[in-house]
Amino acid sequence: MDWVYLIEVLVGGLMSGVMYSLVAIGFVLIYKSSGIFNFAQGTMLLFASLTFVKMTENGIDFWTSLFIAAGIMVIFGIATERYVIRPLANQDLLALFMATVGLATFQEGFSQFVWDSDVHGLQMSKFLDIGLLDPAPIFMSDHIPWLDILIPKFDIFASLVAGSLIVVLAFFFQKTKTGLSLRAVSDDHMAAMAVGIPLQTVWAVVWAVTGVIALVAGLLWAERVSVSFTLIEAVMKALPVILIGGLTSIPGAIVGGLVIGVGEKLGEIYLADVFGGQGIELWFAYFMALIFLIFRPQGMFGEKLIERV
């Protein structure tokens, strides 16, 4: 057994897990606050990053494009709440899920109609002069003598961004008044309304925040895989993550992401031969989630459902 190789694999898995978590957080925010399974998360990623990339390609500088793209996502989130979620309030959860699938279809057409359907590369190192965006990997042995592994610098950058995003979210949820009302709404809609929390405003805030998260996640994903139609598939990658973590838990989304990331990498190395074929990563994450859920149907940190007749 080659331990260094194993550690390298584990680190790689953790890093790709971070990418899954970023998408999963957006999911969890919306599910927690309104019980909606937001399938449009993937197209939000596409729309946000496409908006950003097209603006930078037209010569607008990095920060301005970032702010404009974030602004567009906020407007989009508020509009979604106003025109899709609000009229559908109190509907069957399946209808709401289908509405988000409809939203995804719309957004898929819309973003490619407004911008274009080409594949765009994104290199943030062109705009930001941070050492971490340098494409060359870090040799850990330069810093820690006995650890002879390679880590792509961008992965560290992505993890830092994800980490700070989580800190910001935690602060927002725990310390601000809006965060308090968000938590109240996610606990119990009716009770929250009864004490005078404006449900619709809260939902609008959630969708807007999710839009901004989609922008951040979209940019990081785009740097890795490029901005194109395939970004939509990020949503399929994030599904097992949130299901393992539990649909209602942000820590769950992160831990779930890491578990899936590591598990996928390990599975690729140790199980691919057993199944005699390539591409087991296509379904491996789902099987992991499935086996996990059979033992814990609410996911890792999901709320235990107590059912009464």
The smaller minimum CB distance to another protein, of residues 112 and 228, is found at 112
Of the candidate residues 8, 81, 108, 264, the single one contacting another protein (CB under 8 A): 108
106 binding another protein? (CB under 8 A): yes
Give Cα separations from 278 to 6, 14, 259, 283, 293 (angstroms): 20, 22, 21, 11, 25
CB-wise, 59 or 87, nearer to another protein? 87
- Judge whether 276 and 270 are in contact, CB under 8 Å: no
> Which segments within the chain are labelled E, that is strand?
138-139, 150-151
The 69-88 contact track toward another protein, x by CB under 8 A, reads --------------xx--xx
User: Least CB distance from residue 26 to another protein, whole Å?
Assistant: 16
Helices assigned H by DSSP within 115-152: 140-143
Beta bridge partners of 227: 120
Single out the residue of 185, 241, 237, 225 nearest to residue 33, CA to CA. 185
The verdict on 91 binding another protein (CB under 8 A) reads yes
Of positions 218, 256, 267, 299, contacts another protein by CB under 8 A: 299
Euclidean distance between CA atoms 23 and 215, whole angstroms: 10
Q: Which of 175, 177, 304, 308 binds another protein (CB under 8 A)?
A: 308
Give residues 169-228 in contact with another protein (rule: CB under 8 A).
Answer: none
Which of 77, 289, 300, 301 is the binder for another protein (CB under 8 A)?
289
Residue closer to another protein by CB (options 63, 283) is 283
The binder of another protein chosen from 117, 141, 164, 176 (CB under 8 A): 117
Strand, coil or helix: 293? helix
Cα angle at 249 between 303 and 157, to 5 degrees? 165
| Contact residue for another protein among 133, 236, 251, 303 (CB under 8 A) | 236
Half-sphere exposure of residue 222: CA atoms within 13 angstroms, side-chain side:
29
113 is a contact residue toward another protein (CB under 8 A): yes
Contact flag: residue 267 with another protein (CB under 8 A): no
Which of 4, 14, 72, 101 is the binder for another protein (CB under 8 A)? 101
| Helix or strand holding residue 108 (H, E) | helix 93-114
Applying CB under 8 A, does 94 fall inside the site for another protein?
Answer: yes
Assess 6 for contact with another protein (CB under 8 A): no
Amino acid (1-letter code) at residue 54 = K
Indicate whether 109 belongs to the interface with another protein (CB under 8 A).
Answer: yes
> Any contact of residue 271 with another protein (CB under 8 A)?
no
- Angstrom distance (rounded) from CA 87 to CA 81: 9
Q: Which residues of 113-123 are buried (b: 16+ CB within 10 A; e: fewer)?
A: eebeeeebebe
Helix (H, G, I), strand (E, B) or coil at 309: coil
Segment 23 to 52, residues that bind another protein, using CB under 8 A: 37
Q: Which residues bind another protein (CB under 8 A)?
A: 37, 83-84, 87-88, 91-95, 97-99, 101-110, 112-113, 117, 236, 239-240, 243, 247, 275-280, 282-283, 286-287, 289-290, 293-294, 297-299, 305, 307-309
